[in-house]
Amino acid sequence: MALRRFYIDREMLHGEQLRLTGDLFHHVRDVCRFGVGDQFEVLAGDGQAHLIEIQSVTNKEIHGRQLSTRAVPALAKPHIVLALSVPKLPKVDWIIEKSVELGVAEIRPFVSEFSFLRKVSELSENRLQRWQKLVQGATQQSGRGELMKIGQPTTLTKLLEEFNRTEGIAGLFPYEGEAQVKLAEQLQELKQKNLDQIWVFVGSEGGFSPSEVALFAGAGLPPVSLGDQILRVETACLAVVSVIKYELGR
């Protein structure tokens, strides 16, 4: 039977001693019903999984002892960065969870002409905190050793400026309109390069305007075809990331 894994704040682990409090304590004791002698793994963002055995349980805390550690494989390069024009927010939640499971290194949310939210200010701090909790939960389930990053929301123009200034990266611009290049063909070219990152720019439900397509062209990102059918935003994210991983042998 596979061990349960929990993502913890690094300060909860002192040497070989673990002290669980707060929401995680209640989850382990009351939801998982773990008690003295039970074992589980904790992930602390240090690239290792720590095997813990519970030594004592009180009304407020769980104390455990570290039995061993094992290295969790790091994400292979090139890292996948998903630049997402913000769709309806429940879809973002789903995309975040699946991106963690698929090994996406970072999501960069941005607003554009046809995105569900049109202003960066419409994304509240509470929403960003919710996304971080989703990342932690999906990390526990998938067992990856590091948290997926979520960048600060920005505009398409600013994001493309940042993309152009960064060395060692290449980008893909999947587009439902006219495109001369297929995704697999573009990936064959990228495989020949020693890249640190591959950015994927995915539009929201409304796609991108002609002026924004011109912005992508100016950034050296011609439209790439995903096939004859138009995909929903969440389907496009899942499909493109999966194809990238397959083509790169991951």
- What are the boundaries of each domain within the chain? 5-71, 79-247
| Burial bucket for residue 230 (CB in 10 Å: 0-12, 13-18, 19+) | exposed
Give, as one character, the DSSP assignment of residue 29: I
CATH architecture observed for domain 5-71: Beta Barrel (2.40)
Per-residue pLDDT of the chain (250 residues; tens, 9 = 90+): 578 889 888 889 988 999 999 989 999 999 999 999 999 999 887 788 999 999 999 999 999 999 999 998 888 889 999 999 999 999 999 999 999 999 999 999 999 998 898 889 988 899 999 999 999 889 888 878 888 999 999 999 999 999 977 778 999 998 877 767 788 888 888 888 888 999 999 998 878 898 999 999 889 888 888 877 888 999 999 999 999 998 887 7
Which amino acid is residue 131, in one-letter code? Answer: W
**Nearest one of 70, 71, 40 to 53, comparing CA atoms:** 40
* pTM, entire model: 0.86
C-alpha count within 13 angstroms, C-beta hemisphere, residue 180: 3
C-alpha count within 13 angstroms, C-beta hemisphere, residue 151: 21
- For residue 50, the Cα-to-chain-centroid distance in whole angstroms is 22
CATH architecture observed for domain 79-247: 3-Layer(aba) Sandwich (3.40)
